[in-house]
Amino acid sequence: MNKEFDTLKIVKEDILRILGERKDKVSLESVKAKIKVSHSFVSKAIEDLEKENLIRIEKNFFKLTKIGEAKARGIVKKHLVLENYFKKTKNEEEAYEVAHILEHYVSEEVIKNIKKLSTFKERGIPLTKSKLGKES
């Protein structure tokens, strides 16, 4: 993958996450303020998301479509699992930042294993007794 494609993918996921966290329409200006890339990347990402039927644009505001809501929920869930995991060793702001970076690269399998690790720790089950990575 090339760097421009990676950046565009990340910006699109960030826009979906922002909309998913807000659960309402969001202005173009607030999206640009939260995403620290050039406006051309934000504009291209918005254009792509609209073509993919993930967002709807209404007078300088964006709103998720039903398909977009489902995709945004997955991104928000992934972010929260990572953030909660890192809160055990980092302060809240650092945990948020690490989760924000990793959410774009971590697979669903890794997210499931992180959730399992958290469950084992909460229940006091030693990791040597876990079946992590094996089909349950």
End-to-end CA distance of the chain: 33
Low-confidence winner among 104-108, 112-116, 128-132 (lowest mean pLDDT):
128-132
pTM of the model: 0.77
Say how far apart CA 120 and CA 28 lie, in whole Å: 42
**Which tens digits make up the pLDDT trace of 25-59?**
888 888 888 888 888 888 899 999 999 999 999 88
Say how far apart CA 53 and CA 45 lie, in whole Å: 12
Say how far apart CA 47 and CA 55 lie, in whole Å: 9
**Which tens digits make up the pLDDT trace of 51-99?**
999 999 988 898 999 999 999 999 999 999 999 888 888 899 998 988 9
Question: Which residues, in sequence order, are CB contacts of 61 under 8 Å at separation 6+?
Answer: 25, 26, 27, 28
Q: What is the CATH number for 61?
A: 1.10.10.10
Q: Considering the domain boundaries, does residue 115 fall inside one?
A: yes
Q: Given 69, 87, 109, which residue is the final one in a domain?
A: 69
Please state the domain count of the chain. Answer: 2
**Interior/surface letters 99-110, b for 16+ CB within 10 angstroms, e for the rest:** beebbbebeeee
